[in-house]
Amino acid sequence: MDKILSGKDGEEKACNYLKSKKYKILEKNYRCLYGEIDIIAKYNNTLVIIEVKYRKSAKFGKGYEAVNYTKQQKIIKTLQYYINEKNVKMPVRFDVISIDDNEITHIENAFGV
């Protein structure tokens, strides 16, 4: 399976997981000139920005380890664009969902602004 297809598979698994936890999926693969956000969801009255990392094996480390400072800054900049575009007025949280060997790890408040 190529990298794009496995990434889409991981995002679909993440969406199913989030729906089972009562998250409302607002956007998938939101893109703008600054970057991409894998999943934008609403949980209670909070906008949740979710980065998904999917790995068939943890041989090269856990997926969440790849969400480094540079990646976080791109996500934050993309979110700022989204907030302005959609006129969002609610608290925001950044989560990471790492799927390694088909095991889901959901890290809430993984990083902040």
Confidence band, pLDDT 50/70/90 cuts, at residue 58: low
Instruction: Put the strands of the sheet holding 46-55 in their side by side order.
Output: 24-32, 35-43, 46-55, 92-100, 103-111
Q: How many structural domains does the chain have?
A: 1
pLDDT band at 1 (very low <50, low <70, confident <90, very high): very low
Residue 42's domain spans which residues? Answer: 3-111
Give me the percent of the chain exceeding a pLDDT of 90: 73
Check whether 3 has a pLDDT greater than 70: no
The answer to whether residues 53 and 95 touch, using CB atoms and an 8 Å cutoff, is: no
CATH number at residue 85: 3.40.1350.10
Give the pLDDT score at 6. Answer: 62
Give the residue, 102 or 94, on which the prediction is more confident.
94
Rounded to an integer, the average pLDDT of 40-52 is 97
Is 52 in contact with 41 (CB distance < 8 Å)? Answer: no
88 has pLDDT over 50? yes
